[in-house]
Chain A
Amino acid sequence: MIRTLTGLIIVLALGAVVAAVVPEMQMHEELQGVGFTYASRGMYETGSSNLVTAVIVAYRGLDTLGEVVVLFCASTAVILILTLFPIGIKPSEPSGIVAFTAKVLPAPILLFAVYFIAHSHTSPGGGFPGGAIIASTFLLVMLGSSSIPDSSGRIPAIESLAGLSFGLLGFWGVMVVGQFLNNTFLGTGTPGELISAGLIPLISIAIGAKVASEFSGVFTAFRNTGSRV
């Protein structure tokens, strides 16, 4: 009762704050500040016609590197906890529908994911969602069989390699023009073409591999946890 009342008071207080603040956020007619700079100059400065990718990988590449580190910490913590304290849930037999789907769908999904990552600078896409799509394929294949994936160390190897290549791509800029994660020293090319936008496609591939292997590692850890009990 006290819990419900306290919760109600806190939620109502936050609701009052939101109701007071949100209507003040009037629709602007024009872009303001840094958003205007990104929208008006982004394509010329980075060579990426997808401005969201330009912001994530080029303008705020250092933030993205930090975010990859956060993701790494979270997935490492999950895998560590599940390895030290096995929960002990045995994988169950998949239903016929799941087993059939897991045989048919992975190839087209993987093709889509690779396209999604490789064209992140010309069309909607990017390393983070593309990596999540690859990991979802991994999950589908895993759910389609009752077997337990072996922990051969390949997934951590891909993860480390992808993270390392992100950092090395950044240091490449330091070597050539003296700026970490500089995007333009390779030339930006023609926006809209596959080989363009400097380092953005390479970094996208690194991020995609990193996210895919991290989530796959987490799924494997959840699956493996039953085998130890």
Chain B
Amino acid sequence: MSTVFYWTIAGTAAGLVLVGLWGILTRRHILRIALAFTVADTGVNLLLVWSGYLPGRTTPIIDDSIPVSGMASAVVDPLPQALVLTSIVIGVAVAALFVVVGVLASRRTGSADVRRMKELRW
């Protein structure tokens, strides 16, 4: 993976976070806010995985192609990947909760516009 690609990933991840935050702050439809939330979530996950990358290394799954003596110098950092794996599942669960509460709120106010939801005013 070249240096350009490395920084492209970082830029994409940071961009996703910012786009998601922009969506959360400015959109009015509550399901679009939920969607923006998941976009920001994806950006954070990508940034975490990116932070564990080391040049010229392989996935942290030991097989015959990895020398027994130098395992720690042949694989990327397994810790961020483990964190992101759990983060993705939690993200899905929170998104489901978000959507349910959002649909319920829009039924109560008769509109999916967050400006009509007094509790969500800012």
Contact = CB atoms under 8 A, between A and B. Distances in A.
A-B interaction: yes
A126 B86 CA distance: 11
B72 A71 contact: no
Interface string B71-82: 111010111011
Interface stretch (A76-84, A106-114, A150-158, A198-206): A76-84
B22 A39 contact: no
Given A36-B72, A124-B61, A31 B103 contact: no
B53 to A, nearest CB: 7
Contacts, number: 137
18 contacts: A4-B26, A14-B17, A14-B21, A22-B47, A27-B6, A34-B79, A39-B71, A39-B75, A49-B63, A51-B75, A52-B60, A56-B86, A75-B93, A77-B97, A78-B100, A85-B104, A192-B62, A215-B92
B68 to A, nearest CB: 9
Given A74-B96, A87-B107, A52 B26 contact: no
Contacts of A49: 61-63
A43 interface: yes
A192 B63 contact: yes
Interface of B: 6, 10, 14, 17-18, 21-22, 25-26, 47, 51-55, 59-63, 71-73, 75, 77-79, 81-82, 85-86, 88-90, 92-94, 96-97, 100-101, 103-104, 107
A181 interface: no
Give the most central of B61, B92, B97: most A CB within 10 Å: B61
Main secondary structure of the interface of B (DSSP, over half): helix
B101 A81 contact: yes
B57 to A, nearest CB: 9
A11 B43 CA distance: 14
Interface string A155-181: 000000000000000000000000000
A82 to B, nearest CB: 6
B35 to A, nearest CB: 16
Contacts of A56: 82, 85-86
B18 A11 contact: yes
Interface in A47-64: 49-52, 54-56, 60, 63-64
Given A22-B10, A36-B72, A56-B82, A128 B89 contact: yes
Nearest to A211: B89
A11 B21 contact: yes
B59 to A, nearest CB: 7
* 10 smallest beta-carbon distances between A and B, as pairs: A7-B25, A74-B93, A40-B72, A51-B60, A55-B82, A51-B78, A35-B77, A49-B62, A39-B72, A7-B26
Given A27-B53, A124-B59, A191-B62, 11 more contacts: A15-B18, A38-B79, A43-B71, A51-B62, A56-B82, A63-B86, A71-B90, A74-B97, A81-B101, A85-B104, A87-B104
B86 A128 contact: yes
B94 A123 contact: no
